[in-house]
Structure 1
Amino acid sequence: MLGKLFGKKAEAVVQKFSGRTDYLEAVCAGAALVAAADGEIGDDEVSATVKAVKANKVLAQGFEPQVIEKTINSMLDRAGGGRVGRAGLRKEISEIAKDAEMAEAVVLTMLDVAEADGSIAPEEQKVLDSVAKDLGIDLSRLAA
């Protein structure tokens, strides 16, 4: 009984967000922002981004793998575009700010990418703090 109830709720969440390109773009934008925080995007950060986004059940079920990878690559390219690129990424994130579930997924993905090399660098922490604050997310709760 509990399994069926949980399964129906999970299915409803997947359907709610399935095909929401703004959600996919926001998650990838957050990952790209933190990956580029120290001025360069390392291979470990690219791998962590792909792994974290594909681990998101809603995104993995709602989008074809090539769409996910194309979006990730696009956001990583934009992150390398200086202030203009990073400002655009923040705009992508702000578009989902009113949805707590989406906002939390963005920050969780960012944490996974930031920790890809084993620790969170000070530059990455600044980006995490800023985005979490903008989204109204308690970063310390998610980082625990």
Structure 2
Amino acid sequence: MSFLDTLKQKASEARTMLTTEIAKFKNKEFMEACVAGCALVAAADGSIDSAEKQKMMKFIQQSDELKVFDTKDVIDYFNKIANNFEFDHEIGKAEALKVIGKLRSKPDAARLMVRVCCAIGMADGDFDENEKNMIREICRDLGLPTDDFGL
């Protein structure tokens, strides 16, 4: 391999790595909002069911925008949010809503995040009123009509 070919290969590798890093930075806010929303919905009925965790992870892994994130990073962030609930439910709720609130200026992202939350609420087969009420609160906080989500 010539010196020029080596240089081209190194430049290509650097460009690929930079693109991946930009994608992570660009979508980190959305990933964190999805995880925070999922934690809010999962905690609404008093416990965080494993089916809800699995549904969230499956969505993150299948999303073109979010699959750049390492599963460990998603789990770590989910645990961080969940720990706030364990310390104090209202503090956990306030912290999660603060993270979600960052999507107010991005209505398309906010709508998708709410749809993810609805899917998480249904994941355990019982989309109860506590979970629906939590999603209604998320919608109010984001300025989204609850009717758009069948709530």
Same fold (TM over 0.5): yes
Give the aligned residue type for 1:50: M
Selected match of 2:61 from 54, 63, 66: 54
Structure 1 pair 107–16 and aligned structure 2 pair: CA distance change class (3 A): farther
- Identify if the C-alpha distance between structure 1 residues 17 and 102 changes in structure 2 by more than 3 Å, giving closer, same or farther: farther
1:97 counterpart (92, 104, 114): 104
Greater CA deviation, 22-31 or 51-60?
51-60
1:18 CA displacement? 4.3
TM normalised by structure 1 equals 0.77
Contact 1:75 1:89 in 2 (8 A): yes
Q: How does 1:39-118 map to 2 (within 5 A)?
A: 39-61=46-68, 63-81=69-87, 82-118=89-125
Change in Cα spacing, 1:32 to 1:105, as seen in structure 2 (3 Å) is same
Gaps of 5+ in 2: 1-20
Cα displacement string for residues 12-38 of structure 1 (whole angstroms, at most 9, x for unaligned residues): xxx996423222111100000000001
Does the 8 Å contact 2:49/2:124 carry over to 1? Answer: no
CA–CA distance in structure 1, aligned partners of residues 119 and 65 of structure 2? 17
Structure 1: gaps spanning 5 or more residues? 1-14
Q: CA deviation at 1:128?
A: 0.7
* In 1: Cα distance, 2:35 partner to 2:142 partner: 15
Aligned partner of 2:130 in structure 1 is 123
Following TM superposition, the consecutive aligned residue runs of length 4 or more in structure 1 with deviations greater than 3 angstroms are 15-18
Following the alignment from structure 1 to structure 2, what is the Cα–Cα distance between the partners of residues 90 and 68?
17
**Deviation larger for 15-24 or 93-102:** 15-24
- Give the share of equivalent positions with the same residue, in percent: 24
Aligned-CA RMSD value: 2.4
Kept in 1: contact 2:114–2:135 (CA 8 A): yes
The number of residues matched between the two structures is 130
Give yes or no for contact 2:40–2:134 (8 Å, CA) kept in 1: yes
Contact preservation (8 Å) 1:44, 1:116: yes
Amino acid at match of 2:63: N
